[in-house]
Amino acid sequence: MRVNAYLAGQLEPAEGNALLSLNPSQPDDVVIEGATGTPDQATRALAAAANATWASRSGPERAEVLYRWAGKIGERTEEMAQAIAREVGKPIGEARGEVGRCIAILRYYAGECVREVGNVVPALTAGSLQYSLRQPVGPCVLITPWNFPMAIPLWKAAPALAYGNTVVLKPSELSPYCAQLLAETAHAAEVPAGVFNVLQGTGAGVGAALLEGGLAKAVSFTGSQKVGMMLAEAAARANIKFQGEMGGKNVAIVAHDADLDQAAALIAGGAFRFAGQKCTATSRVVADRRVIAELTIKLREQIAKLPLAPVTDAACAIGPLITASSRERVVGKMGGLAPVLPELPGYFLPPTMLEDLDPESVLAQEELFAPVLAVMAADNLDQSIEIANRTPFGLSAALFTKNIGQALTYISRIEAGMVRVNGDTTGVDPHAPFGGMKGSSTHSREQGRAAIEFYTDIKTVQINP
């Protein structure tokens, strides 16, 4: 299997440096190989996106294309789920869920293609018609991570296309096969040439080249905070729209009146499934001192129900870390608290709970992106919220309680873009606004109707008699 670029409706061999994708469960399994795109291919991808006649098509025509794409993914669901499991180590059940999400996203935005894109604004001048019109921004560069290798590219591409923009996707260099399957299904669905382009490669290679030359009109990024902030600066210098969804250190607060069985089951799932490699994974628990001992016992019982298993096994919940260097980084940060590594070929790390951590410690502050849960105690809800808010991140949060007054206090004071009560921190419905506060985001929202803000410009029109 060879990695290709998908430019102007054609899969063509990439011409840059070698690119190799390995199965993190079994690193001697080469998933796909080939080469990265080149700066010249980046320029051609942007030119194809700039020249495609897409914005001038009617909404119903665009809707038809997105529905067709959803259908083509539907025909290859199992193959695409297996590809996600193999290439990024996602447990097969969750990988199937990701493909289902791709279909739901495309269908949702197919509907968006025929919804209103403006408002009538009463004019000062009698008899005038004044309205605001939302227009496409132009070619959008999408730079995406490996952990949702199909859903994140599509939750950016689908709204971009629905509102009349064209796209150049630069997927993670760790998930080129998944991106290639997206290109193949777009091709099979007859997405018009140049509307959706894929340029494979590393960020420093082709990613940076996509921001040069003035053709890109917007950049939507998901990934680490470090890269996101660097791209935000580059986009600001070019004065183009930028959206960044970045890291998290997501918290679950457990109040003294919580249903501890419910809390333990949902926290363990949120923290350890897919080896804690979701941006919304739970990585901290702040529990009321009155119940923390009982909660930790129940969390241990839940962890025992989550064995390390091959990702293609239906019972698998955890899976490996994405690369050897990710595992080394996490083990290094954990020092003496790191678990014993299993005798498995892949980059597995057993789920680990760290008790009595100082809220200011590195392990309680930095995003590890691993199955590691920091558990801390607080005297009451006020102190729990204060500890919860004491990180630079603000992506998602959960509170377990039966008291509606406590829930309302937490909802208003917690610094997170996505907030749950008696639910885990991970996931969000594919049609609901998604994004973080503080250092987790550049403060726009993806998914649902909220995506129209990023993918359109407002034009104010006045027509006089």
- 245, 367, 415, 446: the catalytic one is 245
Cβ of residue 395: shortest distance to ligand NAD, in angstroms?
A: 6
Cβ of residue 173: shortest distance to ligand NAD, in angstroms?
A: 5
Cβ of residue 245: shortest distance to ligand NAD, in angstroms?
A: 3
279 is catalytic: yes
Cβ of residue 199: shortest distance to ligand NAD, in angstroms?
A: 11
Q: Which is nearer to ligand NAD, 306 or 370 (CB)?
A: 370
Residue written as tokens 């791709």?
A: 102
Contact between residue 239 and residue 228 where contact means Cβ atoms under 8 Å apart: no
Q: Which is nearer to ligand NAD, 25 or 222 (CB)?
A: 222
Q: Which is nearer to ligand NAD, 231 or 316 (CB)?
A: 231
DSSP lists the bridge partners of residue 373 as 353
- Residue 444 structure tokens: 């726009």
Contact between residue 352 and residue 327 where contact means Cβ atoms under 8 Å apart: no
Q: Which residue is nearest to ligand NAD (CB)?
A: 203
- 102, 178, 279, 316: the catalytic one is 279
C-alpha 232/C-alpha 286 separation (Å) is 32
Q: Which residues touch 308 (CB under 8 Å, ≥6 apart)?
A: 318, 319, 342, 344, 348, 350
Q: Which parts of this chain interact with ligand NAD (CB under 6 A)?
A: 143-148, 170, 172-173, 202-204, 207-208, 222-224, 227, 230-231, 245-248, 279, 367, 369, 395, 436, 440
Q: Which is nearer to ligand NAD, 227 or 271 (CB)?
A: 227
Residue 68 parent element (H or E): helix 59-75
Q: Which is nearer to ligand NAD, 174 or 189 (CB)?
A: 174
State in Å, rounded, how far the first CA of the chain is from the last one: 62
C-alpha 290/C-alpha 322 separation (Å) is 38
Contact between residue 202 and residue 416 where contact means Cβ atoms under 8 Å apart: no
Residue 328 parent element (H or E): helix 324-334
Cβ of residue 2: shortest distance to ligand NAD, in angstroms?
A: 20
What values do phi and psi take at 132, rounded to 5?
-105, 135
12 is catalytic: no
Q: Which residues are marked as active site?
A: 245, 279
